[in-house]
Amino acid sequence: GTYMNTPVFDAVWNQIHWKGRYKYHNWVVKADPDCVFLPYRLRRILSQPEFRKAEIDKGVVINNCDKGLHGPLEVLSRRAMQVFGESRILCTQELQEDYFLSPCLAEL
């Protein structure tokens, strides 16, 4: 089940942070292979004024659903990725991957 994939995604997020390539980009996007992702729409959303402060404090994580952040599409600012990468060990990993990132980032 999906509870079993949390360690896999945790390892992937760890590699993304450790390798540091995200530092060369303003945003990190994780999209599942079966997710419909339209980059031009995301660019339009990210060009809005409220996202100009994406590098302040803990950064910005885009909420992709009215009912909370879900795993098929996750969008983090560079600063949010940095904070998550440096502190994710503090997060509990008992949740399935779809619901792990949002409460983890809220804890940080």
pLDDT at 19 over 90: yes
Residue 103 CA, distance from chain mean position? 11
Q: Which domain holds residue 46?
A: 2-107
| Bridge partner residues of 31 (DSSP) | 73
Average pLDDT score over residue span 21-29: 94
Q: How many domains does the chain have?
A: 1
Question: Which pLDDT score is estimated for 92?
Answer: 62
- Reported confidence tier of residue 23, pLDDT bands at 50, 70, 90: very high
- Single out the residue of 72, 63, 61, 66 nearest to residue 97, CA to CA: 72
Question: Which pLDDT score is estimated for 58?
Answer: 84
| pLDDT tens digits for range 42-72 | 999 999 998 888 888 888 888 777 766 667 7
